[in-house]
């Protein structure tokens, strides 16, 4: 168990370090000499962008609704029927992994915005940023609505060493789907699409795609280790985030 936790922490640190190296390389002058800064590949249409933002904000606000605690609280037992891939997470609990995942997901949302500013020299940067953040917002809206509707008990609830304040938190009973995972994959995918459209001939587009999604995967693994999610929670989050990260840029593109 300890060895597995150390492996996940090493993987997360490796991914974060790789991301930092990538950021330095991409902001260098020779990273994509094939094509210089141009305008944004996206066109905003306020007639429906305002509606999408309003819809995303409304969906995200359902997080404040929470979910009723089950009648077994605070002495719940794991369900008897559970997928093997999920049962392996029962009882996981690591506040450290939870904090690291929260820090990493914030960095994964912020880093593409900063890197894109240096890459584009602010040519069309505002439009790019809007589209990437809209992808994250809509992914969060779907996530929070699903969390409140499903009300799945998190793995750490079954750990007797879990802190009382964590067991009493809203996160304890809103495990499906993972918000960290959906946010991370929405950020990684939307920036990958953006970079690809700005630099369609650059070999770095494959690096951006691979490293971004490796970082997102590392965040998802940390949330499993933290005991806040099952494997199916983070998988569903990855699917939702990737879908929004692809769909929103596509809706704003002029192919």
Q: Where are the domains of the chain?
A: 2-251
Angle at 103 between CA 191 and CA 122, to 5 degrees: 35
pLDDT of 27 reads 47
pLDDT of 9 reads 55
pLDDT of 254 reads 72
pLDDT of 167 reads 86
Query: What is the Cα–Cα distance from 8 to 92, expressed in whole angstroms?
Result: 13
How many Cα atoms within 13 Å fall on the side-chain side of residue 138? 23
**Residue 196: CB partners within 8 Å, gap ≥ 6?**
205, 208, 209
DSSP code for 158: G
pLDDT of 12 reads 53
pLDDT of 28 reads 46
Query: What is the Cα–Cα distance from 223 to 95, expressed in whole angstroms?
Result: 10
pLDDT of 63 reads 86
Query: What is the Cα–Cα distance from 46 to 143, expressed in whole angstroms?
Result: 24
**Residue 131: CB partners within 8 Å, gap ≥ 6?**
42, 44, 190, 194, 248, 249, 252
Query: What is the Cα–Cα distance from 112 to 106, expressed in whole angstroms?
Result: 11
pLDDT of 83 reads 84
Burial of 104 (0-12, 13-18, 19+ CB in 10 A): buried
pLDDT of 11 reads 56
* Spans in the chain with pLDDT lower than 50: 2, 24, 27-33
């Amino acid at each position: 168990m300890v060895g597995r936790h150390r492996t996940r922490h090493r993987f997360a640190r490796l991914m974060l370090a790789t991301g930092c190296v990538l950021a330095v390389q991409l902001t260098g002058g020779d990273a994509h000499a094939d094509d210089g800064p141009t305008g944004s590949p996206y066109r905003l249409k306020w007639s429906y962008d305002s509606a999408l933002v309003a819809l995303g904000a409304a969906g995200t606000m359902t997080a404040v609704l929470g979910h009723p605690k089950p009648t077994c609280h605070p002495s719940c037992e794991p369900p008897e029927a559970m997928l093997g891939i999920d049962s392996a997470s029962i009882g996981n609990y690591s506040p450290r992994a939870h904090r690291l995942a929260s820090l990493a997901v914030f960095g994964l949302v912020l880093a593409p915005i900063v890197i894109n500013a240096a890459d584009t020299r602010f040519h069309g940067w505002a439009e790019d940023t809007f589209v990437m953040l809209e992808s994250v917002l809509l992914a969060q809206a779907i996530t929070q609505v699903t969390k409140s509707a499903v009300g799945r008990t998190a793995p750490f609830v079954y750990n007797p060493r879990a802190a009382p304040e964590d067991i009493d938190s809203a996160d304890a009973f809103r495990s499906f789907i993972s918000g960290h995972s959906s946010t991370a994959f929405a950020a990684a995918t939307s920036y990958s699409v953006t970079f690809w459209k700005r630099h369609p001939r650059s070999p770095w587009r494959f690096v951006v795609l691979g490293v971004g999604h490796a970082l997102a995967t590392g965040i998802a693994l940390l949330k499993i280790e933290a005991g806040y999610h099952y494997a199916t929670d983070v998988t569903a989050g990855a699917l939702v985030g990737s879908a929004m990260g692809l769909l929103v840029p596509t809706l704003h593109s002029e192919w």
